[in-house]
Amino acid sequence: MPKLSIKGLEMPESPIRKLAPFADKALEEGKKIYFLNIGQPDIPTPKVALDAVKNNDLDILSYSPSSGFESYKKKLAKYYVANGINITSDDLIVTTGGSEALLFTMGSITDPGDEVIIPEPFYANYNGFAVASGVKVLPVESHFEDNFSLPPIEEFENQITERTKAIIICNPGNPTGYLYTKEEVQKLADLALKHDLFLVADEVYREFVYDGVEHHSIMSLPELKNHAIMIDSVSKRYSMCGARIGCMVSRNKELMATALKFAQARLSPPTFAQIASEAALDTPKDYFLEVNDEYKDRRDTLIKALEAIDGVKVATPKGAFYCVVELPVDDTEDFAKWMLSEFDLNGETTMVAPAAGFYSTPRTGLNQIRIAYVLEKQNILKAVSILKMALQAYTKN
């Protein structure tokens, strides 16, 4: 048999999808599962987006331009300007999900053997894209006790070598829910400038911030003109993960010209999804207010319920819709599997994501899980009460 690639063999399995076979088996056995493991919101997609697709009058489903439909790009640029991010449609490329924006970014700025620095725990697929690109991730550990705030900037600086190309952050954070302060963003910017590195910020959860705090985009720092790359996506903003539309944004012209060549090689982003995404920009403001209230409510409900369980601790999230939770078990992967395959409460169980997969340092976060509060309150309460009973039964064994 011909040999597979080394990088293919090294490619990590998604920690979010890793337990899927156990979930499939539980479903087959007739169990009901509360899915707190994946960021798939149950919030309806804005009607204006769905209707635009239903009412499309295409006879031929053609390619769009490689960087996306001009009309969508123009309207999207306006959305950014309205959000304090002063760019034009020339500064963005429409991509197939935020994932492809990351892929184009990696391709444009790294060669095999290069390095990127990422505070951990981090969105696991950053590692996947790094491995796919032959790039090494150097983690800087952030801590549960600090709600995963920015580690001392010296720890980032200590990781910089001549192969370092970028620092990558997710703000607000997945899986941590942490929102970087203005000062923290500035520290990262200063470091990037000092060492002439790209600063890549995944800001797909921009709209999801709570408690009156403000989101600070790296794109709002004019000194980062050539250094800032923003990754974005419509997936969470409009609860349309299945659209697969994102974008890569930078004012660095040479970078964007290079990224466009990667975009041309794959021809174009999906047409129907661009129609939906363009229309989604007309989503009424009320939608976001309601959705944000809903998420805040869910977060508060979740945290209160979790903290009432003996031995369970929660790192309070300020944004996104995830939180990292410490459980009184040694190995949450084993516990999560056990909940799916051996436990149920009246035929129901809960699925969570073991957090170790979000760390790049081995054997870290073994007692942590990530919970996505993407279900309605009643279901969150159900899911947590199941978790509570499961913990009792599991720790008794």
Pick the closer one to its own copies by CB: 128 or 151.
128
> Contact between 109 and its own copies (CB under 8 A)?
yes
Considering only residues 170, 197, 305, 329, which one is a binding residue for its own copies as defined by CB under 8 A? 197
DSSP string, 344-388: -BTTEEEE-EEGGGG-SSTT-STTEEEEE--S-HHHHHHHHHHHH
Pick the closer one to its own copies by CB: 17 or 304.
17
CA angle 147, 140, 208 (to 5 degrees): 40
Q: How far apart are CA 73 and CA 39, in angstroms?
A: 26
> Contact between 36 and its own copies (CB under 8 A)?
no
Pick the closer one to its own copies by CB: 59 or 214.
59
Considering only residues 213, 267, 289, 308, which one is a binding residue for its own copies as defined by CB under 8 A? 267
CA angle 360, 364, 367 (to 5 degrees): 135
Considering only residues 72, 91, 93, 114, which one is a binding residue for its own copies as defined by CB under 8 A? 114
Which residue carries 């490619």 as its tokens?
Answer: 11
In this structure, the strands spanning 348-351 and 32-35 are parallel
Pick the closer one to its own copies by CB: 243 or 305.
243
Q: How far apart are CA 274 and CA 73, in angstroms?
A: 10
> Contact between 13 and its own copies (CB under 8 A)?
yes
Q: How far apart are CA 103 and CA 95, in angstroms?
A: 10
> Contact between 74 and its own copies (CB under 8 A)?
no
> Contact between 54 and its own copies (CB under 8 A)?
yes
Considering only residues 34, 198, 205, 373, which one is a binding residue for its own copies as defined by CB under 8 A? 198
Q: How far is the CB of 192 from its own copies (least distance, A)?
A: 8
Considering only residues 266, 284, 307, 311, which one is a binding residue for its own copies as defined by CB under 8 A? 266
DSSP string, 253-266: HHHHHHHHHHHHHT
Q: Which of these segments, 4-12, 81-89, 301-309, 343-351, binds its own copies (CB under 8 A)?
A: 4-12
Beta bridge partners of 233: 246
Q: Which of these segments, 27-35, 44-52, 306-314, 327-335, binds its own copies (CB under 8 A)?
A: 44-52
> Contact between 128 and its own copies (CB under 8 A)?
yes
Q: How far is the CB of 19 from its own copies (least distance, A)?
A: 12
> Contact between 282 and its own copies (CB under 8 A)?
no
Considering only residues 269, 319, 354, 357, which one is a binding residue for its own copies as defined by CB under 8 A? 269
Q: How far apart are CA 43 and CA 377, in angstroms?
A: 12
* Whether the Cβ atoms of residue 267 and residue 241 lie closer than 8 Å to each other: no
> Contact between 117 and its own copies (CB under 8 A)?
no
> Contact between 137 and its own copies (CB under 8 A)?
no
> Contact between 118 and its own copies (CB under 8 A)?
no
- Among residue numbers 208 through 227, which ones bind its own copies (CB under 8 A)? 226-227
**Cα separations (Å) of 48 from 54, 144, 272, 286?**
10, 40, 14, 13
Helices 47-54 and 271-280, axial angle in degrees (round to 10): 140
Considering only residues 261, 304, 311, 334, which one is a binding residue for its own copies as defined by CB under 8 A? 261
Nearest to 95 by CA among 87, 107, 84: 107
> Contact between 251 and its own copies (CB under 8 A)?
no
Considering only residues 110, 142, 332, 360, which one is a binding residue for its own copies as defined by CB under 8 A? 110
